A and B are shown apart, each in its own frame.
Chain A
């Protein structure tokens, strides 16, 4: 039996500097949920298949269950809690609500983070509904409402299609 190594992890989460001790073996998902108490990020499989735990690390979507907390040292993490604008749902969140793109809401935070990254990258509707959603498993919706949200965002004035590559209205806000 070895005593687990422990060190302080300092990172930026949703724009705020955070610092907390973590064992080397602690997953980033567990660190966010249980140490920083940001429980919006959900854990569905802990093996990188379901995508529920997706967060943005330095802007890139990653499975937080496949990373150690110490790997996020000095980096920037965005989670679902950071999406709403002063408590008001952002345009993507509103769209998902309008299209009934969620039921139990467990996979939703990961879906939101992947779609956020796709919008910032300026991916088109086909790439988003095809490749991006392929990285997520939703047991409730049959993906119908989520696809409808993607389609609605690409039709909406000021939606991602019109957004400049690398930063849309949401990212700028």
Chain B
């Protein structure tokens, strides 16, 4: 071992190989309890809305009551005359003080590259047009009612079919059409058409996934404070992405980024809904700046369901071509994505990912997908957990199940003929995804076995059926070069910093964010493991633009353990070497002679084998900060920072199975058993991993059965404005018989072989339920094209099939 590693700098891609992937006996791989659970259980969480100690003013956002129209009157005279009004902002004041927000993820041909904050032309019901600030929330709501507005209504464009119809009203007339942009992934249309023309059998379906609301239990919230003397804006915000949040705020408010600090308190769930800066959040910060005060705002549930961006909202014409042996010769999808009133920062990304991920774990002779992003008068869409990949899984596995049914082949056999085998990996798809490691047939076999004996009942009024499907999850976004090539203004790297303090405690800084997924515990485990110190020495600091590393993507896209964890794996190895070298100099021996053991009261102690001399970890750390006895004269500060830009994506995979009952009298679907066989490489904390998978399955069941953010088809007004109308998965939705199993095939991309798993649990859930329903009631299988499979929708199919009367 050399006395000291190379100096700090960009990632050491040429340096020594990463740490071994087999269990070390350290904290990695252990289901240790989560570090922050105690305070959450005591009611001592600190969520954004908990911070105000009574000194903040409160904001209420004024929103458009129409889906499409021109704001012709904004009269705040009476409101401002009310003694309780502290500030009323209308569109003209907002325009005077701000610039539009930047977009991030664009599609070819997209000309709308900014987001207006409070335009005079409103394009969705709930779009902000102004802001009222008063001493308290209730007073602000009183004053808001005094603002008089008038709208000249314009015809609302509801749904992409209406948007693309001849003579459709234009959401953005300046662009001459309702198409925001389009792109093709994989083989060209001509090539896929030729392959389909030569197929022995082609299955065509119109498949769709509904709009859904993220519905974290904690709504969006922020507390903004402008300090006039220092001209600093401090924002405590429930965001997954503090650095892009800061960048957007600085741009919009014409500030330097270093005038803005964004700090993330406890997050009450996010699921992708907190990955962008919304206009209303920007307006609250503007109010704080104009007033030189603290201004708090917490979205209410109706706003969360109507004015927060939504997820999904896609339909596709999809075709699968098979040869006479049941081999997949061609796959094509024409995806139409509903981006809503404008392309949000995440914008068309989910639809592009659906196209990119269209093939899943199968071999196809030719495969391609086209995306057309369409403006409508609905709230914009963004990145909801599992985006793109879940839609792709829905499209692909409905086609495969329908092909099997039409051909009279067992679906399991059809899948087996076309699955990519472990001996074929690494495998590059027609859309240029390179799968690294795994055994997809084995996972699917496990899932099929799980439901082999599940009840199949095709008579009586309660039918029963089962299904199993495989899925693939692209994790660890991403190689920065891939994002750049995809036209996304984001770096995919993460920086991990480990500081050994002068008392031997260890503070870890990373750019990812804790939102309930337990990442702070997982990162602490990784660092404790790499350093060889007890977990209790390690504290993790996340989510503060003043202190934590810059990150574009932060915690989303199943990347936190892969990319931030990867950076910390390497930083940990370097810090371990430095601590050993410092200990060796103190113990007057070589670094190879020094061993670190944890003794007694969790006290790590360095021991020189030859001389039996010892020094505690804390003593070595203290001397290190003094600068005494350092082997490398240039390096004193006991910090190691590694920037990790993953060389590729790493692909987790799973197969899920479901057993369902269908009540022919009510159309009610009950999931009676659910099995998930997952492989996300080595698990840092299996307990946390299982929690992520269980929760994602439940969200997938919500897409399958209960959730839909619906609009009135003529007015474009939201129909689901409360949790009474927007039905979250309840305990009764999620079967008690929920079985989770894992295999652990290390990936080749990230140190430790880690793969992500935050989203994987929801990818196959909707389609495995639908396929099980098709198994139970083959009479309606042809029509299972869209989710949610609500009782009314299913009952209608049953009635049309002559199975139900009413």
Contact = CB atoms under 8 A, between A and B. Distances in A.
A104 B42 contact: no
Contact of A47 (B301, B699, B738): B301
Interface in B648-666: none
A80 B43 contact: yes
B42 A106 contact: no
A39 interface: yes
Contacts of A130: 731
Interface in A69-123: 79-81, 83-84, 87, 89, 93, 96-98, 100, 102-109, 112
B723 A45 contact: yes
A37 B688 CA distance: 31
Contacts of B724: 47, 49
* Interface hub of B46, B301, B696 (most chain A Cβ within 10 A): B301
A26 B138 contact: yes
A168 B38 CA distance: 22
Contacts of A93: 41-42
B215 interface: yes
A136 B54 CA distance: 29
A7 interface: no
Given A47-B301, A47-B722, A142-B697, A105 B515 contact: no
A139 B301 contact: no
A106 B218 contact: yes
Nearest to A98: B33
Nearest to B301: A45
Contacts of A79: 43
B691 interface: yes
B300 interface: yes
A13 interface: no
A165 interface: no
A90 to B, nearest CB: 9
A133 interface: yes
Contacts of A133: 731
Contacts of A9: none
Contact of A89 (B42, B49, B517): B42
B687 interface: yes
Contacts of B697: 142
B269 interface: yes
Interface residues of B, number: 59
Interface in A115-150: 129-130, 133-134, 136-145, 147
Nearest to A145: B691
Contacts of A39: 43, 46-47, 49-50
B216 A104 contact: yes
A112 B43 CA distance: 10
Interface string B201-215: 000000000000001
B687 A100 contact: yes
B484 interface: no
A107 B736 CA distance: 20
B694 interface: yes
A107 B698 contact: no
B734 interface: yes
A106 B47 contact: yes
Contacts of B723: 44-45, 47, 49-50, 137
B597 to A, nearest CB: 29
Nearest to A113: B43
A134 B516 contact: no
A108 B516 CA distance: 12
Nearest to B515: A104
A1 B138 CA distance: 13
B626 interface: no
Contacts of A147: 731, 736
B29 to A, nearest CB: 16
Contacts of A142: 694-699, 729, 734, 738
B269 A104 contact: yes
A42 interface: yes
Nearest to A80: B43
Contacts of A134: 730-732
B267 A40 contact: no
B736 A139 contact: no
Q: Is the interface of B mostly helix, strand, loop or mixed?
A: loop
A1 B216 contact: no
Contacts, number: 170
Contacts of A104: 216-218, 266-269, 515-516
A109 B688 contact: no
Q: For the side of the interface on A, what is the size category?
A: 35 or more
Contact of B217 (A87, A107, A129): A107
Given A80-B42, A100-B691, A103-B691, A143 B217 contact: no
Contacts of A108: 40-41
Interface in A17-53: 23, 25-26, 30, 33-34, 37-47, 49-50, 52
Contacts of B699: 139, 142
A4 interface: yes
Nearest to A144: B694
A102 B38 CA distance: 11
A112 B45 CA distance: 14
A88 to B, nearest CB: 9
Given A102-B41, A142-B738, A37 B53 contact: yes
Contacts of A40: 42-45
* Interface hub of B142, B269, B731 (most chain A Cβ within 10 A): B731
Interface string A53-71: 0000000000000000000
A141 B731 CA distance: 10
* Interface hub of B42, B45, B54, B696 (most chain A Cβ within 10 A): B42
* Interface hub of A33, A42, A87, A142 (most chain B Cβ within 10 A): A142
B447 interface: no
Interface string B16-59: 00000000000000000110011011111111011011100000
B755 to A, nearest CB: 20
Interface string B493-514: 0000000000000000000000
Nearest to A131: B731
B734 A143 contact: yes
Interface in B693-731: 694-699, 722-724, 728-731
Interface string B72-106: 00000000001000000000000000000000000
B617 interface: no
B731 A97 contact: no
A105 B734 contact: no
Nearest to B698: A142
Contacts of A143: 698, 731, 734
* Interface hub of B52, B688, B695 (most chain A Cβ within 10 A): B695
B668 to A, nearest CB: 16
Contact of B694 (A47, A106, A139, A141): A141
A55 B741 CA distance: 37
Contacts of B690: 100, 144
B518 interface: yes
Nearest to A147: B736
Contacts of B517: 103
B271 interface: yes
Contact of A42 (B38, B217, B687, B694): B217
A145 B42 CA distance: 18
Contacts of B300: 46
13 contacts: A1-B142, A39-B47, A44-B217, A44-B301, A81-B44, A100-B691, A104-B515, A106-B45, A134-B730, A137-B217, A140-B269, A140-B691, A142-B738
Given A43-B49, A100-B691, A139-B215, 15 more contacts: A1-B146, A33-B49, A39-B43, A44-B219, A45-B301, A49-B722, A83-B41, A89-B38, A102-B41, A129-B736, A134-B730, A140-B695, A142-B695, A142-B696, A142-B729
**Nearest 8 Cβ contacts at the A-B interface:** A40-B43, A104-B516, A106-B268, A105-B40, A142-B698, A80-B43, A39-B50, A142-B694
Interface of B: 33-34, 37-38, 40-47, 49-50, 52-54, 82, 137-138, 142, 146, 215-219, 266-269, 271, 300-301, 515-518, 687-688, 690-691, 694-699, 722-724, 728-732, 734, 736, 738
